[in-house]
Amino acid sequence: MKKIVIMTILLFMPIFIKAADIDKLLLDSEVDISGNLIVREVIDLKNIDKEFSIYYKNEIDDIYNGTTILVKKVGILEDINNLNEFYNDNFAINYVTPINNYLERDDGKYVYLTFDHRDIYYIEYTILNLCVKHNDAAEIYYRYLYNFNHDIKDGIITLRLPIKSNIFDVYIHSNSKVRANKDIEHSIITLNISNFKKDKYLDVRLLYDKDIFRININNKNSNINILDDIKKQESNNNCYIIYIIILLIVIFIILDIYSYIKIDVVNYNITDKRIDKDIKLLVLSDMHDRKNINNKILDIVNREKPDYILISGDAINGKYKNEDKAFKKIDIFIDLCKKLKKYNVYYTYGNHETYVNNKISRKYKRLVLNTGVKILNNDNLYLSKNVRLNGIFYEKKYYHRKKAKITNEVIESKLGKINSKNYNVLINHNPLIPEPFSEYGFDLMISGHVHGGVVRLPWPLLSPEYKFFPKYSNGLYNIDKMKMIVSRGIGYSDILPIRINNPAHIMIINLSKK
């Protein structure tokens, strides 16, 4: 259940950080006997957290003669549930509370309405002196939502057009992405806006035939309920979203099960003229007390028959609440060490080994050494005449550049100087800051820590420092003259106990002169 919750959070994360949107904008329009266009809007600004302005075009070049916009009423909608009656004549009287605390400005070219707090607003205005300029058609050039002073990630705008008008066509002019769905039969246009940037424009040009001016404004079609259509459409969209989320969760669970069952064994061949004999290394990393995998690991080790086994940290989870529970989990790794007794095993700590208290740490170290595993913390030895193995272990503060910087002095204080005539191999649990070790002169660095990014899409999603898309997470990298090989690890972290499309990873590194 914990895994499903974590995967759901990952899926919804983009929703939590999205920009403020306009949830809904409804519009009703009609033309009166005198040829004036009457427009009624409801705009939901509850998600807008700053001052917000709407611009209406007051002068539309040569299409109208003497066009003027007259704002008749601005108010706050008291009850969103009563939007079903938005298209009834008494809607504004019954459900809208007129307000004066908004700014209206007319500079001759535009009418500006500015609101300084969140709410659901009702706006009613009239475009006066509408003129017909064509013999066969009347053209309403309605610069609707001409401008916003905020970015809009997603918005839905629904227009109901004058009833019983014959729409010749609808033109959408915008320098942003707008998709229009036209329901000519019911006089409905739905505009879906995506990534509408600040100061972009949206022009909607509606072309009617000339009979629009003979409409009887009292003869409204009561069978049309725009809001129900919108809610039905939104409900269907929500269903699709739910289905997609369920499908993604199922896919993630399948990929998690696949990653739980499978172990990838990957070979890396490293050649250098300083390597005096062929050496086969098998690398285990980030086991984190994982259960029921020791026998699988042992089968792979016995099949590969490595010269040396290297354990590059985080063999245990480390964050134990009490000693009894700690050693029930620690015994999983101790059991593996006993099974590997006939091999040469070298173990360098990672950050999780630093989390245990001193009493547990001392007892843990004794148990590991009693199995024959050699702990290589800030120490070194020779695997052959010219191949030197180093294991560096440092405090957690060095995992973050801002807290403590890894310098030549820090490395030298832990490992001493290295000889460039040797081929120098370094076990360093943390791969996120490799440059200092390359500059110091190491030839090969073996790491883990990042768990392959936990979720691979196929690129890595997250590092243990909770940073997205870590640069180093899996496989071979060239860091100047140094090669770095990073294991995806075997186990699960305590905070994110999942591995999506990210099977356990055992590395075979073949060192040779040729």
**Distance separating alpha carbons of residues 438 and 12, to the nearest angstrom:** 39
Q: Which CATH architecture has domain 19-224?
A: Sandwich (2.60)
Question: In this structure, what are the phi and psi dihedrals at residue 308, rounded to the nearest 5 degrees?
Answer: -140, 145
DSSP 31: E
Query: What average pLDDT score do residues 382-388 get?
Result: 95
**Distance separating alpha carbons of residues 328 and 330, to the nearest angstrom:** 6
> Confidence class of residue 67 from pLDDT cuts 50, 70 and 90?
low
Q: Are 388 and 423 in contact (CB under 8 A)?
A: yes
Query: What average pLDDT score do residues 12-33 get?
Result: 47
> Confidence class of residue 312 from pLDDT cuts 50, 70 and 90?
very high
Strand 504-512 to 279-284 pairing: antiparallel
Count of alpha carbons within 13 Å of 153, Cβ hemisphere only?
A: 11
Task: Classify the C-alpha dihedral 459-465-467-471 as positive or negative.
Answer: negative
pLDDT digits (tens, 9 = 90+) for 202-220: 666 555 544 443 332 222 3
* Cβ neighbours for 504, distance < 8 A, ≥ 6 positions apart: 259, 262, 263, 264, 293, 488, 489, 490, 491
> Confidence class of residue 182 from pLDDT cuts 50, 70 and 90?
low
> Confidence class of residue 69 from pLDDT cuts 50, 70 and 90?
confident
Task: Classify the C-alpha dihedral 261-267-268-274 as positive or negative.
Answer: positive
* Cβ neighbours for 29, distance < 8 A, ≥ 6 positions apart: 37, 38, 39, 40, 142, 159, 160, 161, 162
Q: What is the pTM of this model?
A: 0.56
* Domain segments of the chain as ranges: 19-224, 263-512
Rounded (5°) CA angle 205-207-208: 145
Task: Classify the C-alpha dihedral 237-239-243-245 as positive or negative.
Answer: positive
Spell out the CATH class of 263-512: alpha beta
Question: In this structure, what are the phi and psi dihedrals at residue 246, rounded to the nearest 5 degrees?
Answer: -60, -45
pLDDT digits (tens, 9 = 90+) for 349-363: 998 998 888 888 999
State which of 200-214, 222-236, 398-412 shows the largest mean pLDDT. Answer: 398-412
- 204-208, 222-226, 335-339: segment of lowest average pLDDT: 222-226
Query: What average pLDDT score do residues 461-465 get?
Result: 76
Which pLDDT score, from 0 to 100, does residue 137 have?
44
**Distance separating alpha carbons of residues 393 and 447, to the nearest angstrom:** 12
**Best CA proximity match to 178, nearest among 208, 157, 206, 159:** 157
pLDDT digits (tens, 9 = 90+) for 109-167: 667 788 877 788 888 877 765 444 444 444 444 444 444 556 666 666 666 655 444 45
Q: Give the residue with greater pLDDT, 405 vs 281.
A: 281
Strand 52-57 to 68-77 pairing: unpaired
Which pLDDT score, from 0 to 100, does residue 478 have?
95
